[in-house]
C-alpha cells in the first residue's frame, strides 16, 4: 500500500505553488522530482566525501571510489544484472544508446546488415542508429505501430531475417504509455540469434525490471527519471558482447597502458567510462534506487496503474477527448487532444492553473506522423500523484475547453 500523503512530504518541491496555485506536477515522464534523501546525499557527498575517484591513494579518493563502486553494485542488484562489469555509468539514456550504437556498429555492423527499431521510439533510439548507418551502411527497419498503439507483432516476426543484427526497442512508450512485450520480442529475436537492446527510460521507474529474466542484451535508463539526479544514467550490457566492442571515448580511466605507438584498454566496465565520471551522481542515484525499493516496485506499479485507470475514465468523460494510445498493457503516461484545441494552448492555460503537463511531439516525431498529428498534451504520473490531482487536471481541461 502506498501512503501518498507521507510520500509527498519526502519531496520538498511538491509543497510549492506556481502562479499562487498548488503545483500539480504531471510531467514525470520528462523528469521526476527528487526526495529529500537524494538532495541530502548530493550535499553530503560534496560536504564530506568529495575527491576524484579511482586515481587517488588518499583517504577521500578511496572513500569516493568505494561509494561509487557500491552504487554500481546497487544498480546491478536493482536491475538484476549478473556482474558490476556489465554496469556502465553514462549521462543518461541518450548517452547510453549513443555509446551502444557507436561501439556496436563499429564491432558488428556492415553494409547490408539491418537494425530493427520500432515506430514508437524516442529520437534517442532513432538518431544514434541513423548516424552510425551513414558511417557503416547498414539499414534501419521499422516495426509498425497499430491504431491502438501496440507493436504489430506479426510484422515484427516477418521483419526478422538473416540480415538482422540487432533489435533496439523501447520497453515503455513515452507518448502512448504502451508497455511492449519485450520478453516475447527478446525470445523471438534470440531464436534467430539476434541480440536485443532495450530503452528502459520509461520502464525502470515504474515496473520491476530484471535484465536476466528478460534476457536483454543491453538495457539503458536515466537517473533523473527515477528520482535521482540529472547527468547520470546506465547502460547494462552483456559481458560477452561488451568485451567485443571498442571504447566509445578515449581519455583517462579507460586505459590500461598508453604509449604514443599503442594503447591498451582497461577492463569492463571502465573501458567505457572515459574521463572523470559523475561519481556524486552515481552515489545519489543509488540513494534514489534505495528510496523506490523502500516503497516497493510492485506497490508503485499497482498504485500508478490504478491512478492511470482513474485518469483515463475521467478524461474519457470530457467531450471531444481523444486519447492517443489505448494499448491493453500500459503505464501511467496519457497523451491526448481535445477537439481542435492546439496542444500548446491547452498546456499554456493548464500551466496558469498550476498544472504542469508536457505538450508537443515528445521527441517522437515519426510516431506523430503515424497518427497524422503534430503533437499531443501529455500527462504522466508518479506514485506521489493523487486522484485529487487527476480531478484538478480534468477540471482544468474542462475550463480550457469551455473557453474555446
Ligand atoms: N527514451 C525514452 C523512451 C524517453 O522517454 C527519453 C526521455 O524522455 C529518453 C529516451 C531520453 O532520456 P534522457 O534525455 O534522459 O537521455
What is the pLDDT, as a whole number, of residue 253? 82
Task: Point out the catalytic residue in the list 37, 47, 308, 363.
Answer: 363
User: Which long-range contacts does 155-160 make (Cβ < 8 Å, 24+ apart)?
Assistant: 156/116, 156/185, 156/188, 157/188, 159/116, 160/116, 160/188, 160/189, 160/192, 160/194
> 93 CB less than 6 Å from ligand 1?
yes
255 has a pLDDT exceeding 90: no
Quick one: which of 166, 226, 154 has its CA closest to 197? 166
216 has a pLDDT exceeding 80: yes
CA distance 145 to 139: 19
Total Cβ atoms within 10 A of residue 69: 15
What is the pLDDT, as a whole number, of residue 207? 97
**Mean pLDDT of the 181-207 span:** 98
20 has a pLDDT exceeding 90: yes
Minimum-distance ligand 1 atom for the alpha carbon of 173: 3
Calculate how far, in angstroms, residue 122's C-alpha sits from the geometric centre of ligand 1.
7
What is the pLDDT, as a whole number, of residue 137? 98
What is the pLDDT, as a whole number, of residue 324? 98
> 174 CB less than 6 Å from ligand 1?
yes
**Beta-bridge partner residues of 378:** 335, 358
Calculate how far, in angstroms, residue 114's C-alpha sits from the geometric centre of ligand 1.
23
pLDDT in tens, 334-377: 999 999 999 999 999 999 999 999 999 999 999 999 999 999 99
Sorting pLDDT into bands at 50, 70 and 90, what band is 215? very high
Calculate how far, in angstroms, residue 52's C-alpha sits from the geometric centre of ligand 1.
28
**Mean pLDDT of the 148-159 span:** 98
User: Helices 297-316 and 387-403: crossing angle, nearest 10°?
Assistant: 30
CA distance 254 to 264: 9
> 94 CB less than 6 Å from ligand 1?
yes
pTM of the predicted structure, to 2 decimals: 0.98
Backbone angles phi, psi at 276, to 5 degrees: -65, 120
Calculate how far, in angstroms, residue 121's C-alpha sits from the geometric centre of ligand 1.
10
Cell for 133?
548507418
Query: In the chain, pLDDT over 90 holds for what percent of residues?
Result: 98
**Beta-bridge partner residues of 376:** 360
Nearest-CA residue for ligand 1 atom 5 is 174
pLDDT in tens, 384-395: 999 999 999 999
> 98 CB less than 6 Å from ligand 1?
no
Put residue 202 in one of left, alpha, beta given phi > 0 → left and psi -120 to 50 → alpha: alpha
**Mean pLDDT of the 23-36 span:** 98
**Mean pLDDT of the 36-65 span:** 95
Beta-strand relationship, 233-237 and 218-222: antiparallel
> 122 CB less than 6 Å from ligand 1?
yes
Calculate how far, in angstroms, residue 56's C-alpha sits from the geometric centre of ligand 1.
34
Report the side by side order of strands in the sheet with 376-380. Answer: 321-324, 333-338, 376-380, 358-360
Is the CB of residue 376 less than 8 Å from the CB of residue 343?
Answer: yes
CA distance 312 to 288: 29
Report in angstroms the alpha-carbon separations of 92 from 114, 124, 378.
Answer: 25, 10, 22
Nearest-CA residue for ligand 1 atom 12 is 93
Calculate how far, in angstroms, residue 399's C-alpha sits from the geometric centre of ligand 1.
31
Nearest-CA residue for ligand 1 atom 8 is 30
Going along the chain from its start, the domains and CATH numbers come out as 4-30+296-403 (3.90.1150.10), 39-293 (3.40.640.10)
Minimum-distance ligand 1 atom for the alpha carbon of 363: 8
> 380 CB less than 6 Å from ligand 1?
no
What is the pLDDT, as a whole number, of residue 210? 98
What is the pLDDT, as a whole number, of residue 1? 85
Query: In the chain, pLDDT over 70 holds for what percent of residues?
Result: 100
pLDDT in tens, 81-103: 999 999 999 999 999 999 999 99
Is the CB of residue 277 less than 8 Å from the CB of residue 89?
Answer: yes
Cell for 307?
491512478
What is the pLDDT, as a whole number, of residue 254? 87
55 has a pLDDT exceeding 80: no
> 92 CB less than 6 Å from ligand 1?
yes
Minimum-distance ligand 1 atom for the alpha carbon of 224: 15
Report in angstroms the alpha-carbon separations of 102 from 121, 148, 160, 382.
Answer: 18, 33, 22, 33
Query: Is 37 an active-site residue?
Result: no
Sorting pLDDT into bands at 50, 70 and 90, what band is 326? very high
pLDDT in tens, 269-304: 999 999 999 999 999 999 999 999 999 999 999 999
**Beta-bridge partner residues of 178:** 330
Amino acid at each position: 500500500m502506498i501512503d501518498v500523503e507521507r510520500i509527498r512530504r519526502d519531496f520538498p518541491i511538491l509543497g510549492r505553488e506556481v502562479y499562487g496555485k498548488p503545483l500539480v506536477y504531471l510531467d514525470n515522464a520528462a523528469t521526476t522530482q527528487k526526495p529529500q534523501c537524494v538532495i541530502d546525499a548530493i550535499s553530503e557527498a560534496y560536504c564530506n566525501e568529495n575527491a576524484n575517484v579511482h586515481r587517488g591513494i588518499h583517504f577521500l579518493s578511496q572513500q569516493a571510489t568505494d561509494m561509487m563502486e557500491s552504487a554500481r553494485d546497487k544498480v546491478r542488484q536493482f536491475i538484476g544484472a549478473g556482474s558490476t562489469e556489465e554496469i556502465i555509468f553514462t549521462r543518461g539514456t541518450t548517452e547510453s544508446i549513443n555509446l551502444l550504437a557507436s561501439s556496436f556498429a563499429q564491432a558488428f555492423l556492415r553494409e547490408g546488415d539491418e537494425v530493427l527499431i520500432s515506430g514508437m521510439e524516442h529520437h534517442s533510439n532513432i538518431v544514434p542508429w541513423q548516424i552510425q548507418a551513414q558511417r557503416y551502411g547498414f539499414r534501419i527497419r521499422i516495426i509498425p505501430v497499430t491504431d491502438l498503439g501496440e507493436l504489430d507483432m506479426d510484422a515484427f516476426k516477418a521483419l526478422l531475417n538473416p540480415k538482422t543484427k540487432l533489435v533496439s526497442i523501447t520497453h515503455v512508450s513515452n507518448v502512448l504509455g504502451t508497455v511492449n512485450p519485450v520478453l516475447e520480442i527478446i525470445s523471438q529475436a534470440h531464436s534467430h540469434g539476434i541480440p536485443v537492446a532495450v530503452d528502459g527510460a520509461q520502464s525502470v521507474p515504474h515496473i520491476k525490471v530484471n535484465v536476466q529474466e528478460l534476457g536483454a542484451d543491453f538495457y539503458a535508463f536515466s537517473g533523473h527519471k527515477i528520482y535521482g539526479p540529472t547527468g547520470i544514467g546506465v547502460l547494462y550490457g552483456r559481458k560477452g558482447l561488451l568485451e567485443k566492442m571498442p571504447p566509445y571515448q578515449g581519455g583517462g580511466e579507460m586505459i590500461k597502458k598508453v604509449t604514443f605507438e599503442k594503447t591498451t584498454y582497461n577492463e569492463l566496465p571502465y573501458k567505457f567510462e572515459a574521463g572523470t565520471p559523475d561519481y556524486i551522481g552515481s552515489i545519489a542515484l543509488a540513494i534514489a534506487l534505495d528510496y523506490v525499493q523502500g516503497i516497493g516496485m510492485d506497490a508503485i506499479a499497482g498504485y500508478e496503474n490504478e491512478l492511470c485507470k482513474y485518469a483515463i475514465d475521467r478524461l474519457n468523460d470530457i467531450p471531444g477527448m481523444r486519447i492517443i494510445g489505448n494499448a491493453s498493457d500500459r503505464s501511467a503516461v496519457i497523451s491526448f487532444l481535445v477537439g481542435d484545441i492546439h496542444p500548446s494552448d491547452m498546456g499554456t492555460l493548464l500551466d496558469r492553473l498550476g498544472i504542469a503537463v508536457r505538450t508537443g511531439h515528445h521527441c517522437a516525431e515519426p510516431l506523430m506522423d503515424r497518427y497524422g498529428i503534430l503533437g499531443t498534451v501529455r500527462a504522466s504520473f508518479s506514485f506521489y500523484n493523487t486522484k485529487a490531482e487527476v480531478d484538478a487536471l480534468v477540471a482544468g481541461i474542462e475550463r480550457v475547453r469551455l473557453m474555446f
